[in-house]
């Protein structure tokens, strides 16, 4: 009897083993592999949704607040998101699979029934173990998906960066844009200013197409800032990267033209500069253009000097400190624009080689104005009678510095430049012309004969040196009664605006003489450009580019999931057909 029972049990075990390995295992094993793989994908997808959908900077994959601006999503945060998903999902999948295998082992093999449930346990545990392969393929697919999104995005980003950089470079070259610092002890040439965010004031030293974005950089406060001048970068407040001094508005869009006034003490540089500003403002008003001071203090100083001139007084002596350029933003019809840096240092800065060397703004310009006090020329001074000398001293005073010495020091300094000091335009201004005409030595001076007169009174070598250094030299006589239109013509020529100003139509009537109110009007300091608006997302939210990048990855992952489901369904159908065919073949 026991032998019969044992035999029956053996037959039953064999039947169960046959059914388990032949009938159940081929069906259950692939089903478990598919189910475990889908479960792993579902876990992957769940954590991807959690990491990629938050709009806030916090969350499973937090976005750190940048020091200045956010980097492009594909250059940093995309891989932090991938690593967050991977390091979260892989331990979770491994732990879940281990827990399931341990639990199934205890349930199916924990007693005598384990001899009969072994095929089922093997199908389940092997299916879970083998599901690691599709799970690994899924992880690799996600990595490849990130790589594809990054490759496509970075390719488009690179094209945009190169194109925008080329456009801006072409704009700068075509417009001959020069950017320099107007502040004392700096005067450096500037390749790229530092720009301030209008939202939070953060300084952006590299606001160009690059790692932080092609078209826009996103400031830490969420404000979107333009990366090139054609896109509007000139509408931001700009600062010198060397001394942190404030730069004029529209820098980068409009060429800066340094105009140094060169002359010894009491040569009349300040007087001529005031006459020049008044003449340019009058010309701009008459031509329906605009002229404005960049600094309010310069507008106030100019207004005070106009009052002094109108009352018949003399301007105060210029201080000994290095000058801050008097900055004028001028715009004339026909898209004629310049930012003029008028440098009017004390004449003592030209009385020694060391002093001239400190005037670093001489390194950048292509024009200068040589202001000559005719009564500082030894020949002229010795030719004055006692009454003439008294008249000059009472009316204007004279410089003790020989203009020839002043010019020689400046030319020596200019020769240290890479271009050996070449200038396109040099204007020679003979000041105090109204007094000179009252003397015997200058009674016959005319505008056309100024060059020859200067050569005849001891400046012949200086005149020839200027003509060798400059492409064009013009001679101009200036006095308090000089017509503003003539002064404006000279300054427009010196600043390169004369050739860019559209000529008057043939036969057109000349502009009427401006009224005294217009002549004495003080130019304002109103900006000639609209400020950049503060637009962007809340600083607590991720930048829009980050959200677009994340949704692109999540969309690709969703597409991969649908493809995986379709593949699993197709594989399951093929397996079912194979199993059915296996059972039907014997019959």
Domain segments of the chain as ranges: 2-165+543-584, 254-502+514-519
Residue among 427, 432, 438 nearest 374 (CA) = 432
No. of H helices and E strands in the chain? 17, 12
Burial class (CB in 10 A: 0-12, 13-18, 19+), 343: buried
Contact 119, 176 (CB under 8 A): no
Burial class (CB in 10 A: 0-12, 13-18, 19+), 340: buried
Pairing of strands 326-332, 290-293: antiparallel
So what's the pLDDT on residue 587? 43
So what's the pLDDT on residue 160? 92
Predicted TM-score of the model (pTM):
0.80
So what's the pLDDT on residue 504? 43
Burial class (CB in 10 A: 0-12, 13-18, 19+), 408: middle
Give the tokens for residue 283. 């010309």
For the chain, helix, strand, coil in percent to 5 are 50, 15, 35
Tell me the sheet residues that pair with 217: 225
The full length of the chain comes to: 587
Give the tokens for residue 23. 């009938």
Local structure of 262: helix, strand or coil:
strand
CA dihedral sign of residues 443, 447, 453, 454: positive
CA angle in degrees (0–180, nearest 5) for 54-60-66 = 75
Contact 249, 294 (CB under 8 A): yes
So what's the pLDDT on residue 415? 87
For 254-502+514-519, CATH number out of 2.30.30.60, 3.40.50.300, 3.30.1360.70, 2.60.120.10 equals 3.40.50.300
So what's the pLDDT on residue 503? 45
pLDDT along the chain (587 residues), means of 10: 68 69 74 78 83 86 90 87 84 82 78 71 79 75 75 87 92 89 92 94 93 92 93 92 91 90 88 90 87 88 84 74 89 84 89 86 90 90 84 76 89 86 92 88 85 90 91 90 88 81 43 48 68 86 88 79 69 59 48
Buried b (16+ CB within 10 A) or exposed e, 63-80: beebeebbbbbbeebbee
So what's the pLDDT on residue 244? 92
């Amino acid at each position: 009897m026991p032998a019969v029972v044992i035999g029956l049990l053996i037959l039953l075990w064999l039947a169960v083993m046959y059914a388990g390995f032949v009938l159940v295992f081929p069906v259950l094993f692939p089903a478990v592999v598919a189910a475990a793989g889908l479960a792993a994908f579902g876990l992957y997808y769940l954590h991807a949704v959690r990491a990629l959908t938050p709009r806030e900077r916090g969350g499973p994959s937090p976005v750190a607040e940048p020091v200045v601006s956010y980097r492009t999503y594909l250059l940093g945060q995309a891989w932090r998101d991938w690593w967050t998903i991977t390091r979260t999902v892989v331990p979770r999948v491994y732990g879940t699979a281990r827990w399931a295998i341990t639990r199934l082992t205890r349930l199916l093999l924990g007693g005598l029934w384990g001899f009969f449930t072994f095929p089922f346990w093997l199908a389940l545990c092997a299916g879970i173990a083998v599901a690691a392969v599709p799970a690994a393929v899924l992880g690799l697919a996600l990595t490849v998906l990130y790589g594809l999104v990054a490759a496509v995005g970075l390719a488009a980003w690179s094209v945009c960066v190169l194109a925008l950089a080329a456009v801006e470079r072409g704009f700068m070259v075509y417009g001959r844009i020069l950017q320099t610092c107007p502040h004392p002890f700096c005067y450096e040439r500037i390749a790229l200013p530092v720009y301030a965010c209008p939202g939070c004031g953060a300084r952006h030293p590299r606001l160009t197409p690059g790692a932080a974005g092609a078209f826009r950089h996103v400031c830490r406060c969420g404000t979107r800032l333009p990366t090139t001048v054609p896109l509007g970068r000139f509408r931001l407040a700009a600062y010198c990267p060397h001394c942190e001094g404030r730069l004029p508005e529209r820098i980068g869009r409009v060429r800066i033209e340094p105009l140094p006034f060169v002359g010894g003490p009491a040569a009349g540089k300040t007087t001529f500069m005031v006459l020049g500003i008044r003449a340019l403002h009058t010309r701009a008003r008459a031509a329906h253009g605009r002229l404005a001071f960049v600094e309010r203090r310069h507008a106030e100083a100019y207004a005070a000097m106009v009052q002094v001139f109108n009352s018949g007084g003399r301007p105060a002596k210029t201080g000994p400190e290095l000058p801050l350029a008097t900055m004028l933003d001028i715009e004339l019809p026909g898209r004629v624009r310049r930012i003029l840096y008028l440098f009017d240092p004390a004449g003592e800065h030209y009385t020694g080689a060391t002093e001239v060397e400190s005037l670093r703004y001489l390194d950048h310009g292509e024009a200068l104005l040589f202001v000559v006090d005719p009564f500082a020329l030894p020949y002229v001074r010795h030719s004055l009678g006692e009454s003439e000398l008294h008249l000059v001293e009472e009316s204007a005073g004279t410089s003790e510095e020989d203009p020839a010495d002043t010019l020689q020091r400046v030319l020596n300094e200019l020769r240290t430049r890479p271009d050996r000091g070449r200038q396109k335009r040099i204007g020679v201004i003979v000041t105090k012309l109204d007094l000179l005409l009252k003397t015997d030595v200058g009674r016959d001076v005319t505008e056309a004969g100024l060059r020859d007169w200067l050569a005849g009174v001891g400046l012949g070598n200086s005149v020839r040196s200027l003509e060798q250094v400059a492409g064009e030299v013009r001679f101009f006589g200036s006095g308090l009664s000089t017509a503003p239109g003539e002064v404006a013509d000279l300054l427009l020529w010196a600043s390169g605006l004369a050739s860019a100003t559209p000529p008057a139509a043939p036969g057109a009537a000349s502009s009427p003489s401006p009224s005294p109110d217009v002549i004495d009007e003080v130019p304002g300091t109103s900006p000639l450009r609209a400020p950049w608006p503060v637009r962007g997302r809340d600083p607590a939210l991720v930048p829009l580019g980050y959200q677009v990048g994340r949704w692109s990855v999540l969309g690709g992952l969703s597409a991969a999931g649908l493809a995986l489901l379709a593949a699993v369904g197709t594989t399951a159908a093929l397996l079912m057909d194979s199993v059915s065919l296996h059972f039907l073949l014997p019959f």
